[in-house]
Amino acid sequence: MCDIKVVPLGAGQDVGRSCIIVTLGGKNIMLDCGMHMGYNDERKFPDFTYIAKTGPYTPHIDCLIISHFHLDHCGALPYFTEMCGYDGPIYMTHPTKAICPILLEDFRKIQVERKGDSDFFTSQNIKDCMKKVIPVNLHQCVQVDDELEIKAYYAGHVLGAAMFYCRVGEQSFVYTGDYNMTPDRHLGAAWIDKCRPDLLITESTYATTIRDSKRCREMDFLKKVHETILKGGKVLIPVFALGRAQELCILLETFWDRMNIKAPIYFSMGLTEKANHYYKLFITWTNQKIRNTFVQRNLFDFKHIKAFDRSYIDNPGPMVVFATPGMLHAGLSLQIFKKWAPDENNTLIMPGYCVIGTVGHKVLSGQKKIELDKKTTVDVKLSVQYLSFSAHADASGIMQLIRQCEPKNVMLVHGEGSKMEFLKSQINKEFSLDCYMPANGQSITIPMQPKVVIDMSKGMLKRKQANAESQSKRHRLIKVNNEVLVDGLLVMKNMEAKLVESHMAAHELNLDDHQLRFTSSVKIESSETLDEFFSNLKLDLEECFTTNSVQKLSAHSLAVDSVLLKYHSSAAVESNNKDSSSVKHLLISWKFEDDVLGSRVLDFLMPSTETTEFD
């Protein structure tokens, strides 16, 4: 059995550029193909030279799985397929396939049209890439080839996000991607069955965080927004286009209705319409409340939230703006931040995780002067609030998932190294599991114990073990669920094992049926004739084996059920040279079909048996 090998090309002790290669049963599976938001050089994409020095990479990868549409999980996909030459199967859910090209195109425009990045994929690359994608449904078993099978499970997090179970033969692993074990206002909680994989590869973004009550966070969020509006300030909320944005929009929409607030709420132009379209299209991926009310009212048709135009940035008076992207590394959210940051009446609310190297991370770390480029420096005077509405599992959620699927090993990815160390110790302590946390480019081998499935016929379970003392030390009996397996052989054929009765084993192996004959030297008194010896032995055996039939077949042979004891005429009665007056040695032989009964007969003879041979 092959060991499982894993190497992260991204997201190893880091958040961003998720890309993990797993070798399972001789199959190479790529999990996600993302880009890093903190870099604008070659480090923005995974280092595919770990797979092979040069492309194409199709011969080296059996399939590629994308967990969800966030760019740190799918942002390098067109680059890998169209520019590096991967032409193999790509799997993702239907919502992910629908939304991925929209976010990829939006980001492409930022990189190429505004930053002049020439080493980037084109619009046509995105279209060609998505044509290669094979969409999958939740809980659908997809046969990639004759050996590799994959299955998607609901992950929460964002619309269409999925955890994937992959199996080759008896080996399996689960890759979580990003997931959330707590339901929110528009999505349900992640769920997986007790699949007991050999390895669970889980994100660990919030490895050391135990979130407080969701209700408390929502109240805190509404309070900060309301306080800023009352003093005439502006609120900037950087978000991803789909997911967390919709949750917060539902929250503010309800609050604006209840409080009769007139200040405008804006959302990045165009994305609101697209988001609503896809939430309607994939309504079955939302939570029960959204589905129940959808017939009467679509909760994503907001009456207080309008599309934002860039000319509104300098408008006087209070307002709330949801702008993309969520980490302030580019786009409209960064443009608004530059304008509003110097005003202390304004507020920046960061509702999610920010990767190291992004402007969002610098702001959250407390920097008051942020250099955007060589010419632009921003003074940060506005109020900065971090309220985690991130749709990732926290530490308790990760532990809950481990309890849910019962893996044999755990690997942590998509998190910071120091936080992983803490979570690793907790997993070791609570579950006594081996836990791995490889860095990017570090290959990990997880040893696998071979699994042998044995096909056992009912005839093998002949009887319960009657008495432990009755077993001869010479005979090793197999016990399965307190049943004793006797007269059986383990036969391996075509990598399959069977426990079969001895007569069936000969047939399986094309051998003639045969029996072993055992020979022993037994002491008899010199005064005793052979006929007297066997007559006395018959009486002794009848007394010992009261339930068995003991027959004297001839002067020199006895049968105890299926056990035959016989003195052969070719064997002589040998005198003991040391004490010929009192003891003689008699050579007797026996054969039997019943191991348990034979063992008991042999134990009976043991006090007078000196040597045993067999042929």
- The tokens for 521 are 């030297």
Pair 440, 224: CB distance under 8 Å = no
> Is 203 a residue of the active site?
yes
- The tokens for 165 are 């179970």
**CA 78/CA 75 separation, integer angstroms:** 8
- Count of CB atoms situated within 10 Å of the CB of 66: 27
Q: SS3 of 501, please? A: strand
* Residues listed for the chain: 615
Which of the residues 42, 149, 170, 203 is marked catalytic?
203
Name residue 39's amino acid: Y
Alpha helices (runs of H) in 164-243, residue ranges in sequence order: 214-230
* Rg of the Cα atoms in the chain: 37
Pair 211, 321: CB distance under 8 Å = no
Q: For 381, which DSSP code?
A: -
Three-class HEC string of 505-529: HHHHCCCCCCCCCEEEEEEEECCCC
Pair 274, 330: CB distance under 8 Å = no
| Torsion angle defined by CA atoms of residues 544, 545, 550 and 556, in that order, rounded to the nearest 10 degrees | -40
The HSE-up count of residue 265 (CA atoms within 13 Å, CB side) is 24
Of the candidates 526, 517, 540, 519, the one whose C-alpha atom is nearest the C-alpha of residue 573 is: 526
Active-site positions read 203
